[in-house]
Amino acid sequence: MTHLCPGNNNALSTPVFDASAHSAPHTRWCLSLGACCTHTFSTMKQIYSHSPNHFPSSLYKRFSAMILLRSFRLPKLVVKLILPFVLALLLVVTVFYTTDVDTLIIDTKYMSIVSLLDSTKATLRPSKSGAIIAPQNVQLTFNPMKKGSPKEILAQNQKVYDAVLAQKIHEPKDFDIESIRPPKDPLDYVRENATIIALVRNNEIAGIKRTLRQFEQSFNAKFQYPYTFLNDEPFTDTFKEKIRSFTQAEVEFVHIPAEIWNKPASIDRQREREAMEQLAKEDVAYAQKESYHNMCRFYSGNFQDLPALQKYKYYWRIEPNVRFYTNLNYDVFKYLAGTKKLYGFTINLYDIRQSVRTLLPETLLFLNKGENYKYVNKNGAFQWITENQQNPKIAEETGGYSTCHFWLNFEIADMDFYRGEAYSNWFKHLESTGKFYYERWGDAPVHSLGLALFADKLKLHWFRDIGYYHMPYTNCPNNDNTKGCNKGKFDDSGHNLDQNCMATWIDYEMENLGAIY
């Protein structure tokens, strides 16, 4: 592999670090520094060729000798501090010795070297978040703050979770909630550009009715946001009539086109069948259910571009047989818009590791191509997706992915994030692998990984104040507006506490827990 320096169309002979090669740290230093030294050398050579009479040949020769240093395994202090200083000093000396050099040449080459030095800095100094974000060198590393066995880590995390959920809270404090209270008359209310969406089949009418009964009482009877019901088959008239009887809000029923829902023709049927059989042997849920694979792929990257949804910016996703325990007295869509947040969730947990074995490795392949590293947000939730202490075997099997993900049966989000360049191009790469079918990549880990990488984590909001249940997990806050659930209880049985990722989110990704609630 070769690397093109900014402002220089000639490929350097110095190879650039490949994340898949897992090179030693000193190799990364030498390679990045080598690229910088070589480019600086070419800069001085060009200046010398323009003004040989005003450029001391001794300086040129000394720098030529210095280029040999790039192949040495130098101490970190030398690489990080001394050599960059020497390079900068040489440029200053060059300018003093060459009074008739075209300043455009110097300016252009100087900016090229600055860009390379920035890349070197990113390579040498991973951020506290555990991320290296550099051309062809995006790496994610977990930096643990805790010590102990998985059992001990679980106990520590459970203590954190219990303490936070025990705190008495009310409503978000980072916005003027009084300005987004329910209107006296919903018909006169100016709503955000938002809809409530549900992917549901005709035979799930009983389950979605149970959801709507509570959802209307909790939120939408007060604001009357429109509903959009989605189905890969046409809705029956009976289904439509029963749904309309539960709400006064506008309702739209959408039949998802086959070309969007169905499996792509490019999928190798034999490979898919063998992969599904293997996943079934490993007891992966829905492994051999093609419609489930279709659903995961649809929600991962296609739903936001349906003609019926293109007119909306925000959505709140609901599903059959979920419960809402909180009497919400503010407009959550206006809250997201007012705070400029992108995404809201209530529960986050681990996934089935066999279903996403290569999701993170494939993502890193994408990020380490061309300029794709620029898509990564420097304030991403990197620790959350690389945590490896509570369930270490998961990360071992998934290329370092913790599988922590937001549970998508409840999500309130900005669809423009999914429509953006970073997420769209990443999804195209994921789609090209066929692994929505060769593995069982879920929409939850795909959404979550995309948000953790491409969004500022401060724009991802835990709706602590909304009581919510989807079997077997609950978000039950300690507030006066929530009734019917056990305060702070995560799991129905108490046997799945090790599946909770919330303590990791609290400890590693929330910068000021008390600033919001």
Show the tokens assigned to 165.
């959920």
332-369 as b/e: b if 16+ CB within 10 A: bbbbbbbeebbbbbbbbbbbbbbbbbbbbebbbbbbbe
Which three-class secondary structure state does DSSP give residue 500? strand
Q: CA-CA distance, 262 to 298, in Å (whole number)? A: 9
Q: CA-CA distance, 244 to 110, in Å (whole number)? A: 66
Q: CA-CA distance, 310 to 475, in Å (whole number)? A: 31
Q: Report the 3 state secondary structure along 239-256.
A: HHHHHHCCCCCCEEEEEC
Specify the amino acid at residue 396: E
Q: CA-CA distance, 98 to 380, in Å (whole number)? A: 45
- In 308-374 the beta strands, taken as DSSP E runs, fall at 314-317, 323-324, 343-345, 348-349
Look at the block and give the residue holding tokens 């300029």. 371
- Tell whether omega for the bond before 25 is within 30 degrees of 0, i.e. cis: no
Specify the amino acid at residue 196: I
470 φ/ψ sector (left φ>0, alpha ψ -120 to 50, else beta): beta
Which three-class secondary structure state does DSSP give residue 64? helix
Half-sphere exposure of residue 452: CA atoms within 13 angstroms, side-chain side = 30
**Active site amino acids:** 411
Among 461, 505, 444, residue whose Cα is nearest residue 319: 444
Distances (CA, A) of 513 to 312, 328, 509: 31, 21, 10
Contact between 223 and 216 under an 8 Å Cβ cutoff? The reply is: no
Specify the amino acid at residue 294: N
Which three-class secondary structure state does DSSP give residue 278? helix
